[in-house]
Amino acid sequence: MLTSSELRWFKCGKLPDPISKWFQQDDLEGQLQPPEEREDVYLYSPGIEYLGLKLRQGRLEIKWRKAELGVRGFGDRVEGKVEKWGKWLCEDSTGESFQLTDVVGKKSWVSVKKARSQRLYENCTLELTQLNVRGNDWWSLAFEATSDDDSLMDKLEAVANLVFKTYNGSELQAQDSYAYPSWLHLV
């Protein structure tokens, strides 16, 4: 099982050019990864915001919220909700299970196309993702800190403080800060 602290915002519309350029700048440090495009399929469970199930690249991922860690502020223009999540990854070496074709088109499963860029820091990832669900564009900015010790929050906050020193995009507010299960209720 993997444990993570996460901080994420969702915004409706296409990813603004200034934010994309900001994400690419060297001032952010971290190791910039090549962009990745993929399609994930989420099980839509109305009213259940503490549990997420998705099919991703031939495996089933199960995430559940272990704790809500409160709202954190980063400067005058950024605040968001930090949550602690647990994740299990289920893989089938035969390739017979967890196939997108088994669920695509079924009402309870939602297909989300993603174009994601990441920056890797020590035990923390910053990601900027363009999303498309049912023809609607959204974008997301997120931090995910993973570790085997109790320093998850410290790592997440240290990277967020570093990153937001140069951020000059639109305000990021707590009302737009939540995980994928909550976002699926909006779309």
pLDDT of 98 reads 64
pLDDT of 117 reads 97
d(CA 1, CA 6): 16
d(CA 41, CA 151): 31
DSSP-derived secondary structure letter, 16? P
pLDDT of 94 reads 74
* Other beta carbons less than 10 A from residue 101's beta carbon: 6
Task: Determine whether 63 is exposed, middle or buried from the number of CB atoms within 10 Å of its CB (0-12, 13-18, 19+).
Answer: buried
Q: Which of 145, 171, 98, 110 is nearest to 4 (CA)?
A: 145
Domain extent listing, the chain: 2-186
Q: What angle do CA 42, 44, 49 make, to 5 degrees?
A: 100
Residue that is written with structure tokens 């704790």 in the block: 67
Architecture of domain 2-186: Alpha-Beta Barrel (3.20)
pLDDT of 97 reads 67
User: Partners of 86 in the beta sheet?
Assistant: 3, 64
For the chain, which ranges sit under pLDDT 50? none
Phi-psi sector, 22: left (phi>0), alpha (psi -120 to 50), beta: alpha
pLDDT of 6 reads 97
pTM of the predicted structure, to 2 decimals: 0.92
